[in-house]
Structure 1
Amino acid sequence: MAGKQPPEPKNMVHQNAILCETVGKENRYQKLYTNYSINPFKEFYVIAGKPNQKEEEGEADNHFLQVIKRANQEPVKKYKQPQTEAQEVGWITKPLLQTDRGDTRLNFFRQNSPITKFMDKAWLEKEQQSMGN
């Protein structure tokens, strides 16, 4: 511990040079936005006005309303083709062939035999008895 030296005092000139360099880099890569608008792709909620404030009536901006309406649509209605690979799955939702639900070769509907009906009733009664206890 004998070799430990006290820390050197901070040089204010060097500290100011570092600060100037940092601020210069930030200003070089930062872009100042002064034109703000509402994001049309985000859900928009209207908040009620103040109760003691008179409401101003004006014309609705039709272009803005159309942009909001289009942004809230599903991708299939907005675009002609899928924009991402994930959208390719399920993009075409219409069936390729019309199916006949009456055709028993491909439609296997649930059928109950007499023994199945009997066991369903027995199981239901057993459940009702156990719930009553």
Structure 2
Amino acid sequence: MAGNEKVDMVHQNAIHIETIRKEQRHQKLHTEFSINPRMKLHVLPDKPMAAKPAEVIGENYFIEAFHRARQEPTKKYAMPMTESQEIGWVSAPLIPPNRGDKRLNFSRTSTDITKHKESALRAAN
């Protein structure tokens, strides 16, 4: 189409019908709903003078979904979901700690020279 030609009502209606058909082709009808895991649930107590309701048994699915939403990301997912989660994802030490290994533990040691210098510094103060 050239820039000068105007689209008449018939063409506009045809474009509109085609758009609606494309949208309807890709639509899904959702029939299963669940709670939003990011929403905080506040449990409010009953009114003091209200009659006591019968014991309400909650569905296990909602209780499990609530507890799953409150877990740490490392327990919820097998792999990090974002790049920022990759930092610190593996928090377990790569090798088991061994305090007797002198290559990895540099504990404070003192010799005759360091003891003498330490006592001289204490005396100066």
Shorter-chain TM-score category? 0.5 to 0.7
Equivalent in the alignment of 1:53 = 50
Structure 1 residue ranges, 4+ long, deviating more than 6 angstroms after superposition: 120-123
1:92-118 deviation per Cα after TM superposition (whole angstroms, max 9, x unaligned): 122222232111232112345535378
- Structure 2: give runs of 5+ residues left out of the alignment: 1-32
1:111-132 deviation per Cα after TM superposition (whole angstroms, max 9, x unaligned): 4553537856996xxxxxxxxx
Q: 3-state DSSP class of the match of 2:45?
A: coil
Alpha-carbon distance between aligned partners in 2 of 1:109 and 1:51, rounded to the nearest angstrom: 62
Structure 2 vs 1, CA of residues 52 and 119 (structure 1 numbering), >3 Å: closer, same or farther?
farther
- Structure 1: give runs of 5+ residues left out of the alignment: 1-35, 124-133
Equivalent in the alignment of 1:73 = 71
Are 1:86 and 2:54 counterparts? no
* 1:1-133 alignment, distance < 5 Å: 38-56=35-53, 57-111=55-109, 113-114=114-115, 115-116=117-118
Using structure 1 for the length normalisation, give the TM-score: 0.53
Deviates more, 1:61-70 or 1:113-122: 113-122
Q: 3-state DSSP class of the match of 1:63?
A: helix
RMSD value, Cα: 2.8
Equivalent in the alignment of 1:28 = none
Percent identity of equivalent pairs: 41
Deviation, 1:81, is 1.0
Count of residue pairs the alignment pairs up = 88
Structure 2 vs 1, CA of residues 105 and 53 (structure 1 numbering), >3 Å: closer, same or farther?
same
Q: 3-state DSSP class of the match of 2:64?
A: helix
Structure 2 vs 1, CA of residues 107 and 58 (structure 1 numbering), >3 Å: closer, same or farther?
same
